[in-house]
């Protein structure tokens, strides 16, 4: 029954004009809220985060935890060697991907792309989910008003919660042009970004669609460049991910580290994944879609706290491709430890949840992804959280071994190889980060030497993520913007 009602209200919204859509949002708020939150779970239940763990996954986790405890008690140095091997393999996978990204950079990128003539540019929908963003949303509205794109082929939907009047006031105070529309969301759980953009997808009229965050400042010509990319590629291209960098990278030591991490991911790693034919876990903003394809794959899962990475993997699982483009969107790096850890907690929790979702049926997972896809899903997405989770134990066991405090002689000869492997992994990450910082034009790339230190924050975040995965799987820790760190 709910599925029928949801399909009815979705159809009404798709057929209606802006004023009629606003009326439907008021009069049928409960039905719309249900589609925003749970429509995806009804149409694509096998990909829904809300379905939780499969029984075999819980059993496998229990076996792994039991084996780890047994190894810790009986052969701590052997466990140290195993964990060192996991971390080293993760680092070496990133080396391969990054080298592919290095090879992909250069004049050949974008070759042969001819921008569509003015009259042939597709209608574009821009979605801006904004919650408690009064400090930055006005700047984005003014920036979007200056985009290099025909106003008559552009709509900007600013999606604001009804109980957030401050953000709505700032949108209107920015004197938005006619193609900018303020949309007030029907209330309902979960209060997450993917729930918000699901409403935008229901309302969207564009052939192409992009998501920008409230603090973003995209390259004014980005929409034209992406339209040219879609026009030059086949229909199997579902998404084009723009590059994300930070405008306040020089703010303090943490913003520098964050900026170098983003440079590594968006300048080298994601282009490397594309070059190797591997799925791309999307960033949370500046991902451009064919709207029809986005609807076909179900939109966003409102209950997955890294809806972006999940959507990138789902696109690949359903036979669609993602590419990257050099056009930059400038964002604001977090410059304080607490919000940084909270944001990273959400990312790690979502990465683990995404891995759970896409491996519930192992045989189907292998058929859909193949080896390249499994390397992304398990080695890149889940691997980021898993390696950060095990590293505190790795550090403790290393210290115990070096101090001669091991309570078991089993595996004692593996201590030095394990320490060497960890040193190699640390050097690899430092070198990759330095290379990415240089490639992205960041100042003081020598700050890459501090990368192993910031990983301690990742340890805290990974342990918090696992705790939340058990006790508060769908909680969303809001990232603050407009902090003034610059």
Which pLDDT tens digit goes with each residue over 228-272?
A: 999 999 999 999 999 999 999 999 999 999 999 999 999 999 999
| Structure confidence by residue, pLDDT tens digits, 44-86 | 999 999 999 999 999 999 999 999 999 999 999 999 999 999 9
DSSP secondary structure of 349-393: HHHHHHHHHHTSSHHHHHHHHHHHHHIIIIIIIIHHHHHHHHHHH
Q: Quick check: helix, strand or coil at residue 205?
A: coil
Tokens 């969107």, residue located:
329
**Alpha carbon distances (Å) from 421 to 403, 415, 418, 426:** 18, 10, 5, 9
Q: What is the pLDDT of residue 212?
A: 98
pLDDT at 196 over 90: yes
pLDDT for the residue 485: 59
The reported pLDDT for the residue numbered 230 is 97
What's the average model confidence in pLDDT over 284-302? Answer: 97
Q: Tell me the mean pLDDT in the region 448-464.
A: 94
Burial class of residue 234 (count of CB atoms within 10 Å of its CB; 0-12, 13-18, 19+): exposed
Reported as a single tens digit per residue, the pLDDT across 323-340 is 999 999 999 999 999 999
Phi-psi region of 113 (alpha: psi -120 to 50; beta: other; left: phi over 0): beta
Q: What is the pLDDT of residues 305-326, one digit of tens each?
A: 999 999 999 999 999 999 999 9
What Å distances lie between residue 290 and 156, 207, 297, 419, 475, CA to CA?
16, 6, 11, 48, 30
Q: Is the pLDDT of residue 174 over 90?
A: yes
pLDDT for the residue 284: 87
Q: Which two tokens stand for residue 429?
A: 């990450």
Q: What average pLDDT does range 166-180 have in this prediction?
A: 96
Q: What is the pLDDT of residue 118?
A: 82
Strands 237-246 and 180-185: unpaired
**Cβ atoms 251, 486 nearer than 8 A:** yes
- Give alpha helix (H) positions in 105-164: 137-145
Q: Are 278 and 376 in contact (CB under 8 A)?
A: yes
Is the distance from CB of 266 to CB of 286 less than 8 angstroms?
no
Distance CA 256, CA 275 (A): 28
pLDDT at 456 over 80: yes
| pLDDT, the chain, mean | 93
Q: Reply yes or no on whether the pLDDT at 385 is more than 70.
A: yes
Q: How confident is the model at residue 8 (pLDDT cuts 50, 70, 90)?
A: confident
Q: How far is it, in rounded angstroms, from Cα 304 to Cα 353?
A: 7
Please state, in angstroms and as integers, the Cα–Cα distance from residue 64 to each residue in 57, 59, 326, 347, following that order.
Answer: 10, 9, 41, 23
CA distance linking residue 458 with residue 342, whole number of Å: 10
The radius of gyration computed from the CA coordinates of the chain, to the nearest angstrom, equals 23
Please name every residue paired with 211 in a beta bridge, in sequence order, or none if there are none. 127
Please provide residue 154's backbone torsions phi and psi, each rounded to the nearest 5 degrees.
-140, 135
Verdict on whether the full-model pTM lies above 0.85: yes
Question: Does position 21 have pLDDT exceeding 90, yes or no?
Answer: yes
As a residue count, the chain comes to 486
Residue 297 has pLDDT above 60, yes or no: yes
Average pLDDT over residues 210-216: 97
Residue with token string 């301690």: 456
Query: In sequence order, which residues have a C-beta less than 8 Å from that of residue 82 and are 6 or more positions away?
Result: 71
Q: Whole-angstrom Cα distance, residue 400 to residue 57?
A: 32
Q: Alpha helices, DSSP H only, in 268-328?
A: 270-275, 291-296, 307-317
116: three-class secondary structure by DSSP: coil
**What mean pLDDT is predicted for residues 337-346?**
96
Per-residue pLDDT band for 5 (boundaries 50, 70, 90) equals low
Q: Looking at residue 175, what DSSP letter applies?
A: -
Among residues 148, 367, 336, the alpha carbon closest in space to that of 251 is found at 336
| CB contact burial 204-213 (16+ within 10 A = b; e otherwise) | bebbbbbbbb
Take residue 439 and report the two structure tokens written for it. Answer: 């490639």
> Any idea what the Cα angle at residue 286 is, between residues 440 and 132, rounded to 5°?
110
Residues 402-437 pLDDT 10s: 999 999 999 999 999 999 999 999 999 999 999 999
> For residue 486, is pLDDT > 60?
no
Block residue for tokens 């390259």: 219
Report whether 166 contacts 182 (CB < 8 A).
Answer: no
Residue 364 has pLDDT above 90, yes or no: yes
* DSSP sequence for 19-46: HHHHHHHHHTHHHHHHHHHHHHHHHSGG
Mean pLDDT of 132-144: 96
Could you report the per-residue pLDDT of 75-133, keeping only the tens digit for each? Answer: 999 999 999 999 999 999 999 999 999 987 543 445 556 777 787 899 999 999 999 99
- Say what the pLDDT of residue 197 is: 98
Q: Within 10 A of 304 (CB to CB), how many other CB atoms are there? A: 28
Cis peptide before 438 (omega within 30 of 0): no
Distances, alpha carbon 166 to alpha carbons 133, 136, 163, 258, in Å:
8, 11, 9, 29
């Amino acid at each position: 029954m709910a599925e029928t009602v949801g399909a009815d209200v979705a159809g009404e919204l798709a057929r209606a004009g802006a004023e009629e859509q606003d009326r439907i949002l008021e009069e049928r708020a409960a039905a719309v809220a249900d589609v925003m939150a749970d429509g995806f779970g009804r149409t694509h239940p096998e990909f829904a985060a809300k379905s939780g763990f499969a029984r075999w996954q819980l059993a496998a986790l229990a076996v792994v935890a039991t084996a780890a405890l047994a190894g810790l008690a009986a052969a701590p140095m052997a466990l140290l060697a195993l964990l060192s091997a996991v971390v080293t393999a993760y680092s070496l996978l990133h080396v391969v991907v990054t080298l592919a990204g290095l090879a992909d950079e250069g004049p050949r990128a974008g070759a042969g792309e001819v921008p569509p003539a003015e009259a042939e540019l597709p209608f574009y929908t821009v979605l801006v989910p904004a919650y408690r963003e009064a400090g930055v949303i006005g700047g984005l509205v003014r920036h979007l008003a200056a985009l290099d794109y025909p106003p008559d082929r552009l709509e900007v939907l600013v999606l604001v919660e009804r109980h957030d009047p401050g953000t709505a006031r700032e949108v209107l105070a920015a004197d938005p042009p006619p193609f900018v529309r303020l949309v007030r969301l029907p209330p309902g759980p979960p209060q997450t970004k993917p729930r918000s953009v699901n409403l935008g997808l229901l309302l969207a009229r564009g052939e192409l669609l992009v998501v920008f965050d409230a603090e973003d400042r995209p390259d004014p010509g980005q929409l034209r460049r992406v339209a040219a990319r879609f026009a030059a590629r086949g229909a199997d291209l579902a998404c084009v991910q723009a590059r994300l960098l930070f405008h306040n990278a020089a703010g303090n030591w943490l913003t520098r580290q964050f900026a170098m991490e983003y440079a590594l991911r968006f300048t080298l790693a994601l282009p490397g994944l594309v070059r190797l034919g591997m799925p791309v876990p999307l960033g949370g903003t500046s991902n451009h879609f064919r709207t029809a394809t986005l609807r076909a794959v179900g939109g966003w899962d409102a209950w997955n706290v890294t809806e972006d990475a999940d959507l990138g993997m789902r696109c690949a699982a359903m036979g669609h491709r993602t590419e990257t483009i050099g056009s930059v969107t400038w964002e604001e790096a977090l410059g304080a430890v607490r919000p940084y850890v909270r944001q990273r907690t959400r990312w790690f929790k979502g990465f683990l949840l995404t891995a759970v979702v896409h491996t519930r049926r192992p045989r189907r997972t292998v058929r859909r992804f193949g080896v390249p896809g499994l390397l992304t899903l398990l080695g890149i997405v889940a691997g980021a959280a898993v390696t950060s989770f095990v590293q505190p134990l790795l550090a403790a066991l290393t210290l115990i071994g070096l101090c001669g405090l091991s309570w078991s002689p089993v595996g004692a000869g593996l201590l030095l190889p394990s320490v060497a492997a960890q040193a190699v992994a640390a050097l690899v990450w430092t070198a990759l980060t330095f290379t990415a910082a240089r490639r992205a034009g960041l100042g003081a790339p020598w700050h890459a030497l501090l990368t192993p230190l910031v990983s301690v924050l990742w340890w805290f975040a990974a342990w918090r993520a696992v705790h939340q995965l058990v006790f508060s799987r769908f909680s969303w820790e809001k990232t603050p913007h407009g902090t003034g760190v610059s």
